[in-house]
Amino acid sequence: MAEFTRYKVGLHNVGSYQVAGKPYVTGGLNPAAGELIQIDFPSVTNWIVISNNSSDVTATAKVGFSKLGLNVDNYYFEVGGEGTISPRLEVKATQLFITGSSTNVCVMAGLTFIDVGAIDNPTISPDGAFRNWTGSAGI
């Protein structure tokens, strides 16, 4: 008797990234309040866009894919103030971390149907404590 394998979506499932993503938007984030902002996406992202709507042109938002990434040079990127928008980042992520001097940051993302647990594995998160790519890997 033939045995059939049940297929499901995963990190390497091309179809999950070819279709339009489920919309995710959060706004009015204030990293200038001194606290690190952690965003937990409900599923793996297909793309992310960050806008910094602060009226201060010098107010920046530092964005990383891990807490450690924000604490190590070159493992984060900055989005300038006064209406600056990042390019569309086509990345597989389950978390985003934001800090900086901006007072009005918005995050928009297209979500796949891939469960966040797909990223929590020993190859991607060697210490098992992360649901996202680790800062120790230069992320």
Domains of the chain listed by start with CATH number = 19-114 (2.60.120.770)
Averaged over 88-98, what is the pLDDT? 91
pLDDT in tens, 62-72: 999 888 888 77
Looking at per-residue confidence, does 98 or 13 come out higher? 98
Q: What is the DSSP string of 45-75?
A: EEEEEEEE--S-TT--EEEESSHHHHHSTTS
Look at residue 20 in the predicted model and tell me its pLDDT: 80
Could you tell me the pLDDT band of residue 5, with boundaries at 50, 70 and 90? low
Structure tokens at 27: 């706004």
pLDDT in tens, 19-60: 888 999 999 999 987 788 999 999 999 999 999 999 888 899
Structure tokens at 99: 């800090």
pLDDT in tens, 96-110: 999 999 999 999 999
Structure tokens at 102: 């901006």
Look at residue 104 in the predicted model and tell me its pLDDT: 93
DSSP reduced 3-state for 70: helix
120 vs 87: CA distance, rounded Å: 26
The pTM for the full model equals 0.82
Structure tokens at 41: 């996406």
